[in-house]
Every structure is written in structure tokens, then in C-alpha cells.
């Protein structure tokens, strides 16, 4: 739970610090590049995870990398903030959550749509139009394939799940039958 609170705190702080769509795209891209750099370079990863190396020295190393790669000042400050508070391990999760919070800040609702097969373009457009009508705002849909659904769809918005799948209906029926 504490990890989720920290994740939300840092992600929301970053989303609120970004002002325009182009700034969002630039900063997010640089953060993705830095995360990839940390994953792909074993030596850097070992340095950052080392309990022996002082935090100040780690920050100097990362600062020189950020300067050499010409990262934006906001990107550099955010990465150094994570390092200063020993939260760099949250970066991948922050990057996963950032699009949702960025869109919410702009009034766009994000839904995760799970189906057993990919939806056609017409189905996607119809679903998006209907959700925008119901939500009375723009929506962003993230599509995922889930073979366990059997048929139909499952929609997830934040913590709410709308299960209109065959599997969901079967589970409801099973529950009703077991109740008598």
C-alpha cells in the first residue's frame, strides 16, 4: 500500500509539472530512454544498486549521464529527485501510470478494454463513441487480449471493472446457483 501511495505521489507530481502535450511527450520519452539505459547497461545498474557507493556519488554519475545525453532540465530534476529519495526503482511503474494521470489532468478518461480477440476498427470506434457519450468527455482506450474472457468484453476504469464477458456472466450464474 505504501508503495502505491508513493507511486501515485510521484506520478501525480510529475503530471502536474508538465504543461503542454509536447512537453509531456518529450519528458516521457526521455524518462523511457533513461529507464532503458538503466536496464540495458549492467555496470550502471550495479552502480545504482550498490549499497557501498554513496548517494552523492551516484547522483554525480547520473548527473553526468543526463548532461551528456542532453536531457531536459525537468527530466534531470525528476530523475535526481527519485535518486535523492531512493525511489528510482519506481521509475518503470511511474512510466506505466503517467499516461493515465496525464489524460485525467486534461479531462480524458482512460479505459482498459480486454477481449479474447482484437476488435475491428469499426468496433473500436463504436465503443469509443458510446463511452464518450456515457462519460460526457473524451476517452482513451487501451486494448488488451485476454483469452480467459471466452467472449465479450471487460472494461476497467481505475478501480472499477465492468465485466460484460461470457466468463463474467458464467461466474454470476454460478454464484446465483450456489446461493440457492
- Distant-in-sequence contacts of 127-136, Cβ < 8 A, 24+ apart: 127/153, 131/155, 135/109
Cell of 100: 493515465
Return the SS3 of 109.
Answer: strand
92: pLDDT strictly greater than 90: yes
2-99 belongs to which CATH class? Answer: mainly alpha
Tell whether pTM > 0.95.
no
Q: What is residue 93's predicted lDDT score, i.e. its pLDDT?
A: 94
pLDDT per position as a tens digit, 114-128:
888 898 999 999 999
Decide: 50 and 139 in contact? Cβ < 8 Å.
Answer: no
Specify the DSSP class assigned to residue 90.
G
Q: What is residue 3's predicted lDDT score, i.e. its pLDDT?
A: 80
pLDDT per position as a tens digit, 42-85:
888 888 888 888 888 888 888 898 888 889 999 999 999 998 88
What residue ranges of the chain are covered by domains with CATH 1.10.520?
A: 2-99
Q: What is the rounded distance in angstroms from the CA atom of residue 43 to the CA atom of residue 23?
A: 30
Q: What is the rounded distance in angstroms from the CA atom of residue 172 to the CA atom of residue 46?
A: 49
**Nearest CA among 148, 155, 159, 147 for reference residue 124:** 155
Q: What is the rounded distance in angstroms from the CA atom of residue 4 to the CA atom of residue 61?
A: 28
Per-chain mean pLDDT for the chain? 87
Amino acid at each position: 500500500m505504501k508503495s502505491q501511495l508513493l507511486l501515485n505521489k510521484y506520478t501525480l507530481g510529475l503530471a502536474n509539472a508538465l504543461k503542454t502535450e509536447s512537453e509531456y511527450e518529450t519528458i516521457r520519452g526521455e524518462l523511457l530512454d533513461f529507464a532503458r539505459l538503466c536496464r540495458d547497461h549492467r555496470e550502471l545498474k550495479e552502480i545504482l544498486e550498490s549499497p557501498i557507493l554513496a548517494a552523492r556519488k551516484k547522483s554525480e554519475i547520473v548527473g553526468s549521464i543526463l548532461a551528456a545525453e542532453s536531457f531536459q532540465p525537468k527530466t534531470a530534476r525528476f530523475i535526481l529527485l527519485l535518486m535523492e529519495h531512493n525511489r528510482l526503482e519506481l521509475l518503470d511503474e511511474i512510466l506505466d501510470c503517467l499516461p493515465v494521470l496525464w489524460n485525467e489532468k486534461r479531462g480524458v478518461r482512460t479505459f482498459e478494454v480486454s477481449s479474447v480477440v482484437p476488435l475491428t476498427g469499426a468496433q473500436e470506434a463504436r465503443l469509443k463513441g458510446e463511452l464518450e457519450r456515457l462519460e460526457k468527455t473524451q476517452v482513451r482506450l487501451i486494448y488488451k487480449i485476454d483469452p480467459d474472457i471466452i467472449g465479450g468484453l471487460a472494461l476497467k476504469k481505475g478501480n472499477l471493472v465492468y465485466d460484460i464477458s461470457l466468463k463474467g456472466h458464467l461466474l454470476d450464474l454460478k454464484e446465483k446457483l450456489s446461493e440457492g
